[in-house]
Amino acid sequence: MESKILEHPAVEEAAVVGIPDPAGGDTIPRAFVVLKPEASGVTPEEIRSFVDDQVAVYKKLRGGLYILSRLPKNKTGKISKVDCMNIAISV
């Protein structure tokens, strides 16, 4: 899923986590992205629409898309999905 988000020309980094569906049932995807320094005026809605137009219904970003200044990383420099989940719960 992250690979599809990274196809957007303004996105530098992306992480997707599953959050509880408020309507019940399974989880739904929520994305967090960091924009490239030269990207300006790009909105979360623009990126979300870009992705949603290219993926299956169950992969649509129904949990939203949030732009962050940086993604949380672990000691080895990889994106920390656990920390992303903590952010997802708090927004």
Write the pLDDT tens digit of every residue in 37-79. 998 889 999 999 999 999 999 899 999 999 999 999 999 999 9
Measure the CA–CA gap between 10 and 46, rounded to whole angstroms: 10
Would you state the pLDDT for residue 22? 81
What the chain holds in terms of domains, given with CATH numbers, is: 2-90 (3.30.300.30)
Measure the CA–CA gap between 12 and 18, rounded to whole angstroms: 21
Would you state the pLDDT for residue 26? 86
pTM (whole model) above 0.75 = yes
Measure the CA–CA gap between 23 and 1, rounded to whole angstroms: 22
With H, G, I as helix, E, B as strand and everything else as coil, classify residue 11: strand
Write the pLDDT tens digit of every residue in 9-31. 999 999 999 988 888 878 999 99
